[in-house]
Chains A and B, each alone.
Chain A
Amino acid sequence: MCLSIPAKILKVIDKKAIVDFQGKKEQVDTQLIDNIKVGEYALISNGFIIKKIDFKEAKEILNIIGG
């Protein structure tokens, strides 16, 4: 436990981003993290990006939660 869910950044607009979140497109808030770029992976907590992660870590978490 104690793990947040990864998402892939699809689009960045101002302080918002569109992400692929477990197969669904969702809008998230980017105000807590600087320099988010399209194609990167990040951890999401209740609609807020809390941390950038690399692809390997994203895949590892998604395997654990069955995403």
Chain B
Amino acid sequence: MSLEGEKLAARFSHNCWKIRMRGHCDLLKDFARKGAKRDESVHVLKALDSFAYYKIIASQNNISDPFDLRVVKAYWFGDDDLVRKIENNDQVFLPFHNYTIILDHIHHSALEEIDRCKVSVAKVWEVKESCINVRHTAINQKENKIIFVEPRLDSINRGFVDDIIKREWIAYHEGEAIQKIEKEEAIKLVNRTKDAIKLFNEQTASKSRE
């Protein structure tokens, strides 16, 4: 089993609603930081929806461990090789977080919640003791379409990123910094998110024509 994959899964999931409701935030945070209480943490991670997506990606790519780091990264950041579409007559399934959250939540969640839940990347604007200021690119809805809006200054918690300086790039989720990221990787994630939004908009348009 991949400890690094499990720890990355814990970083992303430690503050999701199921974990908050069941009081496991600190358990997963400690596991993500120090590898503490691994068995208990993995048991909790396996109960999350994200584990279903890891299993699908692993199965599509003949990877035996759903917590393989490549698999976990592929779900949260997207991956041009490992993440593949599955289509039936009128629907497209794509095991990529920024696609599934828009599709599955658009009808019952506020757009701000969906935006916080998407994995975002940004160049660091300012580093403060307890937070990092970034130029955040949010999503919005216009005439039934999801669009990116102009970036605005936003503050996120330092989360798992201790050593960061201005102009470096970070990935963040639910208002918490997850990790530093190379600019090239950040651009790839933005492009994958744009592709996911395009796919969503095409499907919405196709359904409204029916």
Q: Which residues of A contact B (CB under 8 A)?
A: 1-5, 29, 31-32, 43-48, 50-51, 60, 64-67
Contacts and interface: CB of A to CB of B under 8 A. Distances in A.
B174 interface: yes
Interface residues of B, number: 32
Interface stretch (B97-105, B121-129, B134-142, B145-153): B97-105
Dominant secondary structure of chain B at its interface with chain A: helix
Contact of B49 (A43, A48, A64, A67): A43
B206 interface: no
Contact of A2 (B49, B92, B108): B49
A37 B101 CA distance: 26
B162 interface: no
A51 B108 contact: no
Interface in B46-69: 48-53, 56
B93 A45 contact: yes
Contacts of A64: 17
Contacts of B52: 4, 43, 50-51
Nearest to A44: B104
Contacts of B88: 29, 31, 47-48
B93 A46 contact: yes
Q: Which 10 A-B pairs have the closest CB atoms?
A: A1-B117, A51-B52, A47-B91, A48-B93, A50-B52, A2-B16, A46-B103, A29-B88, A4-B49, A65-B108
B17 A45 contact: no
A2 B56 contact: no
Contacts of B93: 29, 32, 45-48
A40 B49 CA distance: 17
Contact of A3 (B18, B91, B97, B116): B18
B17 to A, nearest CB: 6
Given A2-B101, A3-B18, A50 B91 contact: no
Contacts of A65: 108-109
Interface string B76-97: 0000000000101011110001
Interface in B16-44: 16-18, 21
B174 to A, nearest CB: 7
Q: Give the one of B93, B105, B109, B174 with max A CB within 10 A.
A: B93
B53 A3 contact: no
B104 A48 contact: no
